[in-house]
Chain A
Amino acid sequence: MILQYIQTNQINVADDSFRITFAPGLEELKNSIKNVGVINPITLRHTQEGTYQVVTGFKRLLACQELNRQTIPALIYEPHDLSPMQAFLYNLHDNVFTRQLNIVERFNVCTKLIKTFAVTEEEVVRNYMPLMGEEPSYKILHQFLALQQLIEPMKQHVVEKGFAISSANRIAEFTPSTQASLLDVLKHVSPSTSKLNELLTLIREIAARDGTSVEEILQRYQLLTIVADPTVAAPEKVAALRQTLRSVRLPHLTERQRQLTSLIAGLQLPQMAKLVADPYFEDPKLKLEYQFSAPEELTALVSKIQEAFDKQHWHKIFEWYRV
């Protein structure tokens, strides 16, 4: 192993045999290199063909290239000094002990170990999942391996938005063209993991039920129009998406909820009073909640309740609820 300054154009960046890094943010690193240069040399493996493979330091190399630096300090191994598997492990350890790998990088690690270096799934689960801070679980390994089906722009989005593996897995189940259409919608919103998973499930189930494509669903219910409105805040967009999809997926339930809301409004209860029903209409009991701090406020409630009784509004609710 020797330390040298290597011409950056001599390094074969396209050879990503040992690469784990995905979607690196280079701006801060570039600023640092501009100020003080490359502090830690990268590691290269000299191939028998005379090229250089990057072992560690992809980000430093990419930053130097973007800064038009002609050379970079590098520790160079000859092929007989460093096997491909050793080189991969150097890079893996260099990364996992300095930062948290994103989910696509974890996918890269699992895939390369199994497909390139013929490591068994058992060994990956036992030795490498804990190294990445994961439970030693086959289920989790298979969740990472399933990300193979993600299209590149979706991988980028998943990492940028910090999607959970459960959401990424749901997306990976869609075809590449569906993922591209979904991406058009998803880039306008930032739902929580549970909301995102719910949205994806709703879309998938509507398509399955109606025997149509997801693209058709996105178009038919104008989901892109809902999320693309620049005047609406992101959380409201998610709420509108969810409401639209739920009303399509659960038409009877949402219609009944709408009817109940309208019937409750007919009671004209005081503002601080709330009539609560089981959202799924399984439990026949209704609950009336009221906050008050003076006897007059209580009298107001009683009077409104009585008024509604006189107008048969309560009977209407009970009769309707029973059906």
Chain B
Amino acid sequence: MNATAQAIAAASAVPLQVRSLTHRYESKVVLDHVDLALEPGSVLGLIGRNGAGKSTLIRAMLGLLEPESGDALVFGEPALKLSDTAKERLGYVPQQPDALAWLTAAQMFDYLSRFYPRWDHRFVKDTMQRWKIEADKVMAKLSPGERQRVDLVRALAPQPELLVLDEPASALDPVARRELLREIALRAGEAGATVLFSTHIVSDLERVASDIAFLHDGRLLLHCPVDETKERYARLWLPANVAAAAPGSPLGKRRHEDGSLSVIVECDANGAWPEASRLPGARVDTLGLEDLFVEIAE
């Protein structure tokens, strides 16, 4: 392959991909053979309970952590040996940003802008003003919410093609969260950026994510488009007398104290729910993502 062909292949490569990623902290398995790939232009919401392995997965995907086994690729390159070109196309906001805390935001922006040819000075100025953050204050003295927003501005300013946000909304108030979501949504739509963000706040994800991945106990339980998730899965409730006829479900089954049963079911290609939904007393409830998440994670 000549250099041009290689460049084209790299540019069109899947922005982010992991294959059979496994990782342990001491003896505890935190990632168990995770396979995941992001389509260009998609917005993937990674959801899971605290401690489900979200941050570990993100860090391994970006090569910030060497997994025990498996591959992580960024724009087709091994994450652990990323070229500068690939790094320029990537923006990452860690859960608790603390880098360069002795600088003011203005100093940090000025310093970093020299490394990025596509640095958007106007965006930085407008956003800092809109968010009313003092650019001349040492970052260590900012509130956690302000610090997180400064880091978002820092990550968005180089106009990255791939944006990775680890719990980006955790320190933000509802108004700032909504602004962040708007920014994510429009970046993905107009600039065609690919976005991965982790959260345990499901409503954030429902607004802007095109796809959703459920991480539970280090395993990826579900990965599909948000709309399809809502249309394809439901909760089937069976009263005690017919509970024995419940279909098997890999996703979640809960027996209640009175002997009744809730089970997550999937509709077939024609949109029909399993046979058991027509049993006397049976009820099918369509679910929002939050309910589905609770059913699966419990």
Whether chain B is bound by chain A comes out as no
Residues of A within 8 A of B (CB): none
